[in-house]
Structure 1
Amino acid sequence: MENQLLPDKAKDRLTRTCRTAVGDSLRSLTYINRFDYEQVYLREDLERDADLNSFIGNEWHDFKMTQDAYRGSELGDYRYTIRVFENGYLVRITIEDSGVFITTDGITMQDFEALSQAVEGVLDEWAVAE
């Protein structure tokens, strides 16, 4: 997909932020909003044939359902989602109208937390700048 949803500066910042948080464990990074998506990073050793349309629809729909379902619960505000797969993890980090999903190799819960905090900061900066 040849979208230009984010300026190059934002894509570079997101990629650097993720690489700093999880290093070589970063597999892919995709920016999403309610209307479209853009794959920002894909590690060289991975196939470029993933059906991102299916991922995007599921992740955006699930984010909205999760956010609504747990709003006001004693668990606190929704922060991010981790999905565990045979060959890695998918982390969905979203703010109100946009977000990212990131795939990684095995990392620790501390790495997920650091990744989430760093990416939320970048997303918040770009949301304010828009």
Structure 2
Amino acid sequence: MYDVPFDTGIETPFADSVISAARTSLGDTLRSVIYFTPSEMDLLYVRRDLYESRQGALEVKSRLVEFERGGFAEAPVRTVLSVPDDPSGIGPYEFTVRFHRDGFVVRVLEGDAGVILTTDSMDVDAFEDAATAITTLLAAT
């Protein structure tokens, strides 16, 4: 599943909790789980039918992480958009879902850490469950 020690410095129980939260919410549609910071990443889970090698998965997921790291720089914009106690506002940022023809990319950020989930096409309601569980885990670290 993953290599330890983790490049990001996370602990194995935390990695297991993130994977469990994603699998519980998203089931067999889950393709991958990546934990990342502004400078490092760890590939926590990849569904076995997707890549011929771990190295191949790391190469593809590294490109995805580089793109999603832009979310850390967007934090001030997300904060401006979520004015507390504004009844006409959109509320605080929770997570990002990117829709693709054959699946989804979900990014959850909390401070200087994030998790990316990739899935097959599916009902989008499960993303909120997964993102909420992972946000709780990220906030506790």
Into which bin does the TM-score normalised by the smaller protein fall?
A: 0.7 to 0.9
- Listed as ranges, the gaps of 5+ residues in structure 1 are none
The alignment of Structure 1 onto Structure 2 pairs a total of residues equal to: 125
Matched, 1:57 2:59: no
More deviation, 33-42/83-92: 83-92
Matched, 1:13 2:17: yes
TM-score (structure 1 length as normaliser): 0.86
Q: How far apart are the structure 2 equivalents of 1:27 and 1:56?
A: 15
Matched, 1:97 2:112: yes
Which of 105, 108, 115 is residue 130 of structure 2 equivalent to? 115
Q: How far apart are the structure 2 equivalents of 1:14 and 1:44?
A: 18
- Listed as ranges, the gaps of 5+ residues in structure 2 are 82-88
Q: Is the 8 A contact 2:37 2:112 kept in 1?
A: yes
- Aligned to 1:108, the other structure's residue is in SS state coil
Report matched runs for 1:40-79 at 5 Å.
40-47=44-51, 48=53, 49=56, 50-61=59-70, 63-73=71-81, 74-79=89-94
Q: How far apart are the structure 2 equivalents of 1:66 and 1:107?
A: 27
More deviation, 43-52/26-35: 43-52
Q: How far apart are the structure 1 equivalents of 2:117 and 2:92?
A: 21
Q: Is the 8 A contact 2:103 2:122 kept in 1?
A: no
What displacement does 1:77 show?
1.4
TM-score (structure 2 length as normaliser): 0.80
Q: Runs of 4+ in structure 1 displaced over 6 angstroms?
A: none
% identity of equivalent residues: 25
Per the alignment, residue 84 of structure 1 pairs with 99
What displacement does 1:72 show?
2.7
More deviation, 44-53/102-111: 44-53
Matched, 1:39 2:47: no
Q: How far apart are the structure 2 equivalents of 1:33 and 1:11?
A: 14
